[in-house]
Amino acid sequence: KKEAALKKAEEKKKAEAKKKAADDKKKAEAKKKVAAEKKKKEAERKKKLAEEKKRKAAAEKKRKTEAERKRKEGEMKKQMEAKARAARASQAMSKYVPRIQQKVEGNWAYPPRGPEGCNPTVRVSLAPDGKVLKAKIVKSSGDPYCDSSVEKAFLKASPIPIPLDPELYSEFRTIDFPFR
């Protein structure tokens, strides 16, 4: 009886050890499964973050490209406006230079040697209404009497004819006028 009881107890121990080993194996497999699931979720999270980062980078690149395009368009528009303004100013200048020359010559007292060789360049500062604020020789003719008489002629001719367009005034504010 004792032997049978010992055998039974030993079998029971073996069965319990077997059961414990199976439980340990199940627990280890469950841990592996949880770890694998955790790893899978982390990989998915990283993948989503990488995709979001790529999407944001693409959106930022697109935004920068659009901003650069708009900046270039703005520059081109400004250049075209400046060219158009310069063309208008050039056209106005060619129209008004003879008028200015005529008005100044009407107020010019010839130097003692006469008008020959009297060809200085005068920098004339004008008010918006054409009033001469300042006349200064920037390139002398070589004859101080001639230079002085031309400066005085510009001051006497005030106001000189200039366009009334305020946009063109900036072109006529200061004129380097080659007096001939």
pLDDT tens-place string over residues 142-166: 888 888 888 899 899 888 888 877 7
* φ, ψ at 41 (rounded to 5°): -65, -40
Please state, in angstroms and rounded to a whole number, the distance separating the CA atoms of residues 170 and 162: 11
Return the closest-CA partner of residue 160 out of 177, 147, 144: 177
pTM: 0.53
Give the model's confidence band at 115: pLDDT under 50 very low, under 70 low, under 90 confident, else very high: low
Please state, in angstroms and rounded to a whole number, the distance separating the CA atoms of residues 108 and 150: 6
Note the Cα 45 to chain centre separation in Å: 40
Give 46's Cβ-side CA count (13 Å radius): 6
Q: Between 93 and 121, where is the model more confident? A: 121
